A and B are shown apart, each in its own frame.
Chain A
C-alpha cells in the first residue's frame, strides 16, 4: 500500500500511509485506539470505495472497492468479533457460499470431508455437524481462521485475535501462525499486547493519529521504544506506586458457593485495598463477581459488608448497599451504545438524582463533567453518542458510570480489555485514586502486569477454588502465571 489516505467527514483517518508485508512474514501493526490501524486494514479488505493511493498485491496494481474484490486477490480478514453464524454447524460456516453440490442437492459426504480437511489445517478435530454455539470461544476462533484459510488467501489480516483467548489458547494460535508463515502466507497482526508482538512478529509498524510513525525489524526496537512511539511521549514507568492506607475490613465472604462454578470461597477485603483475583478463563472469577453483584444467586455462604449481612437478590439491591460491578462485556452489558455519554454515566444513579420521581439530569451534569475530565474522555462532550467513541474511551465511560455511583466495593471484571496504552494508564490511575479514597476494589484480570502493578494482594483461583493468596511482594507475572496454572510451590 503506497501513500494511501482515507477521509471520513471531519477527519482524516489514514493520512498518507505506506505499508508492506512480504510473503512468509508476520508484520505487526500497533497503535493506540483511533490511530488508524483498523481503517488501514479495512481499505485492504475492500470496505471503502473512495480511498486514495495505490494498493499492490503480488506486484500488481489493484483496486479494492468491495470485499469480493479483496477476496479475489487473496486477502483474508479475521476480525476481533467473530463472523460465524452461531446456530449453524461448523461445516456450513466453513463452506458458506461454496457448499459442495451433486446436481441440485447438497453433497453431505463431501461437505463433511472438506470441512474436516479445513479444520485439520488449524489443528482441530471436531464433529463438523456441531453448531458453533456448542464449541468453545477458542475453538470458534480457530474455526474462523480455518474459514478464511478456505478461501486460499495469500495475505491474512488478524485484528486482535487473542483478546478473547486464555493463555494456553494463545499458544496454540501462535503455533498455527508459525505454520502459516512457513507456507508463505503474509500475515498482518494487529494487537495491543506487546509481549505477543515481540514473540511472533518479524517487523512492527507503529501508527499514531492516522500517520505511520515507523516500521522497524522487531530485533531493533525495545518494548519501551514501541510504547513511546505509540503514545508519543516517554513512559518511564508503567506503574508508579503511591502509598495507600489500607483500613478496616469491609467486605467479608464466608463459604460462598455456586454449585458447578465455584465452591467454598472465603475472603476478606479491606477499605482502600485493591484485591486482585487471578485465574485462567473458566476458573470461576466472573461467576463469583456476578454473585457478589446480585446478578446470580449463591447456593451457600454469607456475604457481609461493614459487618452487616448483604442482601443482594438483585443488582439494584446490591448497588443500593454499595456493591458495584463493572462487566467484562462492554458493548452489550456495559453500555447503551446508542445513547449519549451522560445518559450512560448517570444510568446507575437516576434515582439518586431524582426527588419525588422527578429526574434532574442537570443535577448530574457536574458529575459527568468531572468524570470526563478525570478520565480524559475524548471528545470531552457529554452528549456524544457512546457508540461513536473509540474502544478505549468507551471503556472509560463504563468506568465513569461506576465511579459516579460512588460505591463502597467496586468489582472490576477485565477493566482494560482491548484498550490502548494511554487509556489503560488513565484507567489504572483512576482505580488507584478510588482505592486511596477508601473504596474496596476487587480486580479480576487476565492482564498479569495489571494485576501485579495494581493489587495489594492477589487471590489465585483455579477450577472454582481459591488455591493461594499472594502478598504484593510475592507477585510477579511469572509467579502468578505459574500459580494460576496450578504449578509452583505452595
Chain B
C-alpha cells in the first residue's frame, strides 16, 4: 500500500503528503535493518569459512548439530550481557567494566541463598546486581564520573569484597540436604533444554533482545536515551532528566550481567570470583561489531545480537583450529581495534561525528 502512495506522490493532496511521511519513517527503519543485516552477513561469512575449513579437512566437526548448539550457547552468554551493556554504550558512556565481578558476585549470592529456596536465591542475586547498577549509574550520572574508570574501580572493589567475605574460596551448591530441589532448579538455568535442543539461556537471550529492541526504538525512554547518548548537554537543555537516563542504563546492564552471571555459575556449578572474567570485553566487542558506535546514540539491539553470534562463531572456529586461549584473546583484541577504527573513520567521512 505504501508503495502505491509513494508512486502517486506529486505532493498536492494531503494524502500524498502523509504518504511521503510514511515513506520517510519506513526508510529509516529500513536503514536500521540494512545495517543490522550487515552484521548477519558477516556471521554468514564466518559460517561459510567454518564450512570451507571442514570441507577442506582442516577442522573437524564444525557442521555437526552439537557444534552449532555449542556456538549458540556460547553466543547466548555473551549476548545476554551485551544486550544490557548496549544501553550504556547507547547512552554515550562506553561500557560497564564492573560486569565481570557483578557476574561473579551475584553467583556467590545465589549459591549462598539456595538453602532458602530457588526463588529467594534468584531474587537476592538480582537485588544485589541492581544495587551495583544503581550505584554505578548514580555516580556516573550525578557526579559525572568517568564511566570506564569508575566501573573499573567498582569491579576491583567487588572482587576484593568477594575474596574477603569468602576468604578467597570458591563455593559449591550443597547437593545434599534440604536445598536439593533448589539446587536442581539452579542447575537447570544453564542445562534446561526445550525439545532437547534450545537451551534456556538462548530463550532468555531472545526475550531480552526482543524487549531491548522494543525499548530502544519504541518507547519514550529509548527516544530520550538516544538524545542523551547523542548529546548529553542538548538532552539536558531539552528538559530531559539525563541523570535518570544514565542510571537506568547502568541498572539494565547490571540486570543482564546478573542473569549472565547466574547462567555461567549454573554452568560451572561453582561460585568463583573469576566466573565473569572476559565478559566485559567480549560484550563490548559484540556491541561494536553489531554496529553500535562508542560515541553513543546510534546502533540497535538486533545488531548486538549479530555481534554476539559472530563472537561465538569466532571462538568456535578458532578453538577447532587449535588456536590457544591467549592467541584467541589477541585476535579478539585486534578485531575490536579494527572495527572501532573503521567505525570512527566512516563516521568522520560522513561528517557526522562531532568528536
Contacts and interface: CB of A to CB of B under 8 A. Distances in A.
Contacts of A344: 234
A194 interface: no
Nearest to B237: A333
B21 A336 contact: no
B28 A383 contact: yes
Nearest to A327: B237
B93 interface: no
B219 interface: yes
Contacts of B221: 357
B178 to A, nearest CB: 43
Contacts of A152: none
A336 B230 contact: yes
A362 B25 contact: yes
A358 interface: yes
Interface string B96-112: 00000000000000000
B242 to A, nearest CB: 10
Interface size class of A (residues with CB under 8 A): 35 or more
B240 A347 contact: yes
A346 to B, nearest CB: 8
Nearest to B22: A362
A310 to B, nearest CB: 14
B235 interface: yes
Contacts of A362: 21, 25
Contacts, number: 104
| Interface of chain B, main secondary structure | helix
A362 B25 CA distance: 8
Nearest to B244: A316
Contacts of B240: 316, 347, 350
Interface string A312-330: 0011101110000101000
A369 B231 contact: no
A449 interface: no
Interface string B259-280: 0000000000000000000000
A337 B354 contact: yes
A336 B223 contact: no
A333 B233 contact: yes
A388 B297 CA distance: 17
Given A319-B239, A348-B239, A383-B24, A338 B353 contact: yes
Interface string A367-390: 001000000000001110101100
A346 B236 CA distance: 14
Contacts of A319: 239
Contacts of A365: 21, 24-25
B351 A334 contact: no
B327 interface: no
A339 interface: yes
A250 B144 CA distance: 37
B181 to A, nearest CB: 38
B226 A343 contact: yes
B238 interface: yes
Given A333-B233, A343-B227, A350-B220, A316 B241 contact: yes
B239 to A, nearest CB: 4
A182 interface: no
B222 interface: yes
Contacts of B219: 354, 357-359
Given A369-B21, A382-B24, A401-B238, A350 B223 contact: yes
Q: What 10 A-B pairs are tightest by C-beta distance, nearest first?
A: A336-B231, A354-B220, A347-B238, A319-B239, A336-B230, A359-B220, A316-B239, A333-B237, A336-B234, A315-B239
16 contacts: A316-B240, A332-B231, A338-B230, A338-B297, A338-B353, A339-B230, A339-B231, A350-B223, A359-B222, A365-B21, A369-B17, A382-B21, A382-B24, A383-B24, A383-B27, A383-B28
Interface of A: 295, 314-316, 318-320, 325, 327, 332-340, 343-344, 346-348, 350-351, 353-354, 357-359, 361-362, 365-366, 369, 381-383, 385, 387-388, 401
Interface of B: 17, 21, 24-25, 27-28, 218-224, 226-227, 230-231, 233-241, 295, 297-298, 351-354
